Structure 1
Amino acid sequence: MKPTLALPGLAYGGDYNPEQWPEEVWAEDMRLMREAGVNLVSVGIFSWALLEPSEGVYDFAHLDKVLDLLHANGIAADLATPTAAPPAWFFRAHPEALPVDRDGRTLSYGSRQTFCPSSPAYREAALRIAGALAERYADHPSVRMWHVHNEYGCHNAACYCDTSAAAFRRWLRARYGDDLAALNHAWGTRFWSQWYGDWEEILPPRATGAVPNPTHRLDWRRFCSDELLALCTAERDVLRAAAPSIPATTNFMVMSNFDALDYWRWAPQLDIVSNDHYLMSTDPESEIDIALSGDLTRSLAGGPWLLMEHSTGAVNWQPVNRAKKPGELRRNALAHVARGADGIAYFQWRQSRAGAEQWHSAMVPHAGTDSRIWRDVVRLGADLRALAEIRGAGSPADVAVVWDWDARWALELPSQPSGELRYADLVRAWYEPLWRSGVAVDFVRPRADLSAYRLVLAPSLYLVDDEGAANLSAFAERGGTLAVGFHSGTVDDNCHVRLGGYPGAFREVLGVRSDEPFPLLPGGRVALSGAVPDGAAGTLWSERLRLEGAEAVASYADGPLSGVPAVTRRPHGSGAAWYLATLPDPATLAALLDRVRAEAGVEPVRTAPPGVEVVRRRGPQADYLFVIDHSGQGAELPVAPGSSELLTGKETAGTVTVAPGEVAVVREPR
C-alpha cells in the first residue's frame, strides 16, 4: 500500500520560496496564507546553493525556520530535493557534468537543469543532498510529502556527451540482451551501411549530414526517458528509506508542448502523481487542453492526482504572455478538480522581484493584495474548502482514448509521408467533440485492460506492438466499438513497416487494405460524400483504400481518389470497428464520433448548452456534478431531487443555475 498525503480535504497552495525575501516578509506570508486558505506549500525546490554552499557543507538554518513557521501556522510542507538546479561550485568541480547538445556544444551553467542526466558526479551529489534532507527532516511535523526534483526533462531531456553515449550503450545492451545482431536487425542497419560490428561504435543520434536512422532515434528517446526516471527513483529511494510513511511525488508536465518522458513508465514509481499545466496564449479554447491534460493525468494516476503548478495569470516564457480573463483563474482551477485533481497549487506563492521568472504571475502579485488576482486567490481557497468532501472521488468513463508515447515519438520522426502530422493535435481533434458533448473520457495504453469501456478510440497509433494491436482487436471482437485513425498500425515496436498493405496491424479487424497513402499538401482539403454533413471535407491525409469486409460510410468526392472509401465500418465479432482514413473537418468528425458513440451506447454526463462544460466525479454516496460556463451566457441544468450546490451551500429544486462565466458544483445523491 502506497503512503498517502496526510491532509484533510483538498490541498491548496503553491511553490514557496522565502529565500527570495527578507525574513520580515515571512510573517506576512503566514498571515496571507491563512487568509487564502493555503494548507500545503512546496519548499526548497531551487535552494541547493543555500542548503549546501560548498561541497559537503550544509546550512539548514533558514529551512529550519521556514518549516517551523509553517508548522506553527498549520501549513503542511511538500519538501523538495533541490536537484533541478545544481550550484556553481558543483560545475566548477565537475565541468564534465555539463550537458552537450546534438551539435556538440557544451552548455554553461547559470540557469536550471544544466546537467547531464548520465553524469556520475551529478548523481552522487544529488543523492547526497537528498539524503541530508531526508535525515534532517524525516520526522519534522510539517513535512507531509517529498517533492523529488522539479519538472524532469524540462530543459535537459537529452545530453549527447561521451558519458551519455556510454550510458546509452549500456541501456541498449540490456534492451537487446547483449546481442549486437539483434540491435542491427531492430535498427535495420543494412540500409546506408549503418551495420555495427562493435558496441563502442554506437553513438547518440548526434547531428549528421542526412536523415538519421529512425529506430536509433526512437531508442534514444526511450533511453533518455529511462535515464531521467532512474535519477528520480534513486532520489525517491533515499527519501523512502528515511521516511517510508511520507509519500513521494514529482511534477509531470502533461501538456501538449512537452513530449520528452513516457509517463506510463513513470507513474507507477510514484506514491502520488502530480502535474504542472500551463495555458498556451495562442490557444483560443485552452479549456479543452485543461480537460485533456486532466483526463490524461488522472488516467496515469489511476485515480485522483495533484495539480502541482499552474498560473494565476500570465506566464513568462511564451512570445506573448496574456493575462487571464475575469473568472478564468477560478474556472481553470475547478476544471482541474473536476477532472480528478485533489489539490490545486501555483507557481508561485509570491511573485519574484528578480530573476528569470520575475514576470511569471503568482498568488501574491507585484501589486500585492489590492489586486484582482489576490481576490480571486482568496475566493478559490474558500471554494476548495467548500469542496472538501470531494477528495478521493472517482471519475467513471465509458470511453477510452489510446495514448502512447512510443507512437508519438515515432510519428514525428523525420521522413514521414507527411511532416504535417502532430500527435497531440490529432488526439485533441478527436477528443474535442467528446468534450463538447460532455462525454467522460479515460486515456489508456494499447495493452491496457479495456473491459470497463464501451468505446475505444485510437486517433493516432502509427507504432503499435503485436500485443497492443491484438488487445484492441479483441476489444471489438468481445462486443466493444473500436475507432481507428489513419496511419495507425503501420509499424511495429522497432519502427519496421508491417508489410502487406496499410493499416498494417489493423487490416483484419477493420476489414480494409490500402496500398498507398496520398497525404494532402499544407492547407489541402478533399471533399467527402456519403453519410456525412453537407460540405464535409477531409484534411491532412487520404489513402487509396479497398474494402475487405468493411462497408463504406463516406468516400472521397473529388481529387485523385474520387469514389474511394474514406470512412469505413466493419462488424467484428460481437462489436464493430471503424476506420477514418482522413482527418475530417471538425463538424464532420463530430458528427461521425456522435454516430460511433451512439452505436456504442455512450451517453454524455448531462446535456448542456454549447460552451458549458459538465463533468462528474463519483463518491461512495453521491455524484459531484461540475458545471463550468465558458460561454459567458450562463445555463440552467436539471439535477436529481435532493441535490445541493456545494459552493453556495444551497439546496437545489430540481435544477441548478450557473451564472455567466461562473462554476457550480452539485452534490447529487445516488
Structure 2
Amino acid sequence: MPDVPDVPDVIAYGGDWNPEQWPEETWEQDVALMREAGVNRVSVGIFSWSLIEPAEGVFDFGWFDRVMDLLAGNGIRANLATPTASPPPWFADAYPEALPVDADGRRLHHGSRQGFCPSSPIYREKALRIAEQVATRYRGHPALALWHVHNEYGCHNARCYCDTSAAAFRAWLRSRYATLDALNDAWGTAFWSQRYHDWAQILPPRATPSFTNPGQQLDFRRFSSDALVELYVAERDLLRELTPGVPATTNLMAGAHWDMDAWAFAAEVDVVSTDHYLVGARPEPHVDLAFAADYARSLNGGRPWLLMEHSTSAVNWQPRNLAKTPGELRRNSLSHLARGADGIMFFQWRQSRAGAEKWHSAMLPHAGTGTKVWREVVALGAELAALSEVAGSTVTADAALLLDHSSVWAQDHPAQPTADLDPVEEAKRWHAALWRAGVTCDVAHPEGDLSGYRLLLVPQLYLVSDAGAANVEEFARRGGIVLVGPYSGIVDEHDRVRLGGYPGAWRDLLGVGTEEFFPLDAPIRLASGATGTLWSEAARATTAKVLDTYLSGEPAWTRNEFGDGAAHYLTTVLDDAALAEVLATVCREAEVEPPAVSGPGVEVVRRSHADGRSFLFAINHTDRDASVTTGAGDRVTVPAGDVLVIPQVTRP
C-alpha cells in the first residue's frame, strides 16, 4: 500500500478549497492566508464537474490550471478530486434514465448532489471520461499529492430501485448463488409463497404491503454497497494507469454512515480517509469522535490515516447546529491526531456565501480573520507543525470491538423481537465505557486478524458467518478473553436462525443455552443490584459459571473457560455503571491497561514509533484542571480544556 507522498514528518493540514465559488481576485488572498495558517494540503475540484465540462464533451481547464499552478507555486499540495459526486445539469437533462429512483418508485431529480444511479452504465461512462480528462491533464503536476476519488460515496444515493438497478441486482445474485435453488434456500422463500422460478421475477425490495423478505433486503444492501465500491475501483484503476505511484482514496464516513461496507472500501483504497462531524444532540460528542477515529484507524490496519473533513465550528444539516466553544476545535483535532490521523483537514477553507452549505463553518469564516475561529485555525497550524515528529507513529490497542455492516443491516429489518436494540449505539456505548477508563480500543471485523489482541468485545453481533464464529472461538482457545453481549450469534450470513437454542453460533464458547428471549418494557434489578434494560433471556448455564443473576435466579452474566482463554456472556443490556464494572473485570483478566491514569473527562492515548519514541496525548474535556499519571510514574496537570502532548522514550 503506497504512502501519501508528503514531505517527511509533516502532518497534512488544510481543507476543501473551492475557488470556483469566488472571483479569481480572491485566490491570491486565499493562498496567502493559507500560508499564514500553516496550510500545506487542500482538496480541490470536488464539485467542479459543471465548470470543467460545461457542456457534454466540452472541457474548460484554463481556470483550474491557474488554481493548481497557484498551489504549486506556494508549496501547497493537492488532494485532487475526480468531480464525479455531483453530475452537472446537462447530465440529468440528457440522461434522465440515469437518475436514482427510491423504493416508492419516485425518480429523484437534479438540484442537489449525487444525483445518479450507482448501477447506471451511462453515469459510469461519463464519470470515467471526466476522471480521465482530469488525470491526463494533471499527471506529473507538482501540486498533485493524492487522488481524492468522488466524495462521500452513498451519502445520499446509497440504494437505487430503478429497473437498471434491478437488472444489476439479478446479475449480482447470479454470481453469488449460481442457482435459483441456492437463492431460494438462502432467502427462505417457502415462507409467504415467495419461491422464485425465474431470475427475471426478482426485484429490489421496493415498497410492498408488508415486511419485505429479510434475506432479499440484506442482499440488496450488500449489492448496493458493492455497486459503489465498483465505481470507486473503476476510477482508481484508471488513475493508477495514468498516474502510477500517486495513491488514491475516497473519504468514508466511518462511524457515522452505515449504508456502505467500510471494510470493503478500506480494502481498495491506498490510505483510509474519513470525514467526521460532531452531532450536537449526543451528550458527549467528543466520545463519539473517539469511536469514529478508532474505527478509521482500524480500517487502515492500524496505520496512520487521513481526516479529510471535519468542522471548525457549526455544521449546517442538524436541527440545531451548535457552534464549537473556545478550544473545542483544537481538542477535536488533536483527538483525531492522537488516535492515528496523520492529516487534519476541514470542510472547508473559505465559508460559502451562497448554496446549501453557506451556514457550515470554515477555516476562513464569513466574518474574516478577526474571529475566534481564524485565530484557532492559525494556532492549530503552528501546533501541528511543531508536532511533526508524531507523523508516522502508530496507536497500539490490546482490545478490539467487533462490528460488521451485514449484521447491522440484517438487524435493521423491522421484524425483530424488539425495536429497542440498536447494534451501533450499543457498540458505541461499550466503546465509551472503555474511553472513560482510558483504554484504547480498535474496531475489528469478525473474520479479520484478531491475533494481536488480548480482549475481544462483541456488544451485539446478531449476524455472524461460520468463519467469523470460528474465528472468535479460536481467539478464546488460544488464550484470549471474550465478552459477548445479548442478541449475538443468532443468525447465519443469510439471516437464517441458527437452530438448537440461542446464542446460536457461540453456545459452546459461552457455555450457555437460551430457549426464549424476553424483551423488556421496563428496567429490572439483578441480584448484584445492577439494572438490566431493554432485553432479557430465559437462559441456563451448561458449562459456564454464573456471576450474576436475575432475581428469578436465571443467569444474567456468565463466564466459561474455553481452551486457554475464557468467554463472558451478558444476557441483558446493563446500565452504564454496571457495564463499566463488567468491562473493568474483563480488562483486568485480559491484562489490558490504559497508557496513563487520568480522571473523569480526560482522554489519554499513546502514539509510538518503532524506535521507542512515543507521545502521550492527554486531552482535558472538562472545565477543571486534572492530573494525569503517565506510565513512567510522572504526574502532570492538564489545565481545564487544554491538551498536553508528552514526548517519551522507551525501549523499542
TM-score normalised by length of structure 1:
0.95
Secondary structure of the corresponding residue to residue 529 of structure 1: coil
Secondary structure of the corresponding residue to residue 195 of structure 2: coil
Identity %: 58
Shift of 1:657: 2.6
Counterparts of 1:379-528 in structure 2 under 5 Å? Answer: 379-521=379-521, 524-528=522-526
1:214–1:414: 8 Å Cα contact kept in structure 2? no
What are the superposed Cα offsets for residues 1-54 of structure 1, whole Å, 9 maximum, x if unpaired? 425333341000000000000011111101110010000000000000000011
Question: Amino acid of the residue matched to residue 372 of structure 1?
Answer: K
Q: Which residue of 2 aligns with 1:567?
A: 557
2:597–2:629: 8 Å Cα contact kept in structure 1? no
Q: Which residue of 1 aligns with 2:638?
A: 658
Shift of 1:411: 1.4
Q: Which residue of 1 aligns with 2:620?
A: 629
Shift of 1:551: 1.3
Q: Which residue of 1 aligns with 2:259?
A: 260
Shift of 1:658: 1.7
Shift of 1:656: 3.1
| Moved beyond 4 Å, runs of 4+ | none
1:204–1:220: 8 Å Cα contact kept in structure 2? yes
What are the superposed Cα offsets for residues 409-454 of structure 1, whole Å, 9 maximum, x if unpaired? 1112111001111111110121111100111111111112222111
What are the superposed Cα offsets for residues 244-273 of structure 1, whole Å, 9 maximum, x if unpaired? 1111010000133x2111111110211111
> 2-side partners of 1:359 and 1:228: how far apart?
29
Question: Amino acid of the residue matched to residue 32 of structure 1?
Answer: L
> 2-side partners of 1:376 and 1:57: how far apart?
42
| 2:214 equivalent to 1:210 | no
Counterparts of 1:182-331 in structure 2 under 5 Å? Answer: 182-256=182-256, 258-302=257-301, 303-331=303-331
- Aligned to 1:594, which of 584, 609, 613? 584
Q: Which residue of 1 aligns with 2:367?
A: 367
Secondary structure of the corresponding residue to residue 324 of structure 2: coil
Question: Amino acid of the residue matched to residue 35 of structure 1?
Answer: E
> 1-side partners of 2:111 and 2:220: how far apart?
27
Q: Which residue of 1 aligns with 2:547?
A: 553
1:517–1:544: 8 Å Cα contact kept in structure 2? yes
1:639–1:668: 8 Å Cα contact kept in structure 2? no
> 1-side partners of 2:630 and 2:513: how far apart?
48
Counterparts of 1:632-647 in structure 2 under 5 Å? Answer: 632-639=623-630
Secondary structure of the corresponding residue to residue 99 of structure 1: coil
Secondary structure of the corresponding residue to residue 443 of structure 1: strand
What are the superposed Cα offsets for residues 330-371 of structure 1, whole Å, 9 maximum, x if unpaired? 000000000100000000000000000000000000000010
> 1-side partners of 2:351 and 2:423: how far apart?
35
Secondary structure of the corresponding residue to residue 456 of structure 2: strand
| 2:162 equivalent to 1:161 | yes
What are the superposed Cα offsets for residues 290-320 of structure 1, whole Å, 9 maximum, x if unpaired? 1111111100001110000000010000111
> 1-side partners of 2:473 and 2:334: how far apart?
37
Q: Which residue of 1 aligns with 2:152?
A: 151
Shift of 1:635: 2.1
Shift of 1:502: 0.3
> 1-side partners of 2:50 and 2:509: how far apart?
58
Q: 1:3 to 1:385 in 2, by over 3 A?
A: closer
> 1-side partners of 2:398 and 2:631: how far apart?
21
Bigger mean CA deviation after superposition, 355-364 or 474-483: 474-483
1:255–1:278: 8 Å Cα contact kept in structure 2? no
Q: Which residue of 2 aligns with 1:117?
A: 118
2:596–2:631: 8 Å Cα contact kept in structure 1? no
Secondary structure of the corresponding residue to residue 78 of structure 1: strand
Counterparts of 1:48-67 in structure 2 under 5 Å? Answer: 48-67=49-68
| 2:616 equivalent to 1:617 | no
**Alignment gaps of 5+ in structure 1:** 642-652
1:537–1:585: 8 Å Cα contact kept in structure 2? yes
Shift of 1:666: 0.8
Counterparts of 1:20-39 in structure 2 under 5 Å? Answer: 20-39=21-40
Shift of 1:623: 1.3
Shift of 1:634: 2.1
Secondary structure of the corresponding residue to residue 349 of structure 2: coil
> 2-side partners of 1:159 and 1:640: how far apart?
52
Q: Which residue of 1 aligns with 2:6?
A: 6
1:518–1:543: 8 Å Cα contact kept in structure 2? yes
1:447–1:468: 8 Å Cα contact kept in structure 2? yes
What are the superposed Cα offsets for residues 613-652 of structure 1, whole Å, 9 maximum, x if unpaired? 00001112311100000012122333477xxxxxxxxxxx
2:510–2:568: 8 Å Cα contact kept in structure 1? yes
| 2:16 equivalent to 1:18 | no
Q: Which residue of 2 aligns with 1:585?
A: 575
Bigger mean CA deviation after superposition, 468-477 or 101-110: 468-477
> 1-side partners of 2:631 and 2:386: how far apart?
20
Question: Amino acid of the residue matched to residue 262 of structure 1?
Answer: D
Shift of 1:95: 0.6
1:412–1:423: 8 Å Cα contact kept in structure 2? no
Shift of 1:540: 1.1
Shift of 1:655: 3.8
Secondary structure of the corresponding residue to residue 216 of structure 1: helix
> 2-side partners of 1:243 and 1:182: how far apart?
43
Shift of 1:665: 0.4
What are the superposed Cα offsets for residues 153-196 of structure 1, whole Å, 9 maximum, x if unpaired? 0000000000000000010000112x111001000000001000
> 2-side partners of 1:235 and 1:196: how far apart?
36
What are the superposed Cα offsets for residues 447-476 of structure 1, whole Å, 9 maximum, x if unpaired? 122221111011111000111111101111
What are the superposed Cα offsets for residues 376-418 of structure 1, whole Å, 9 maximum, x if unpaired? 1001101110111111101111101111111111112111001
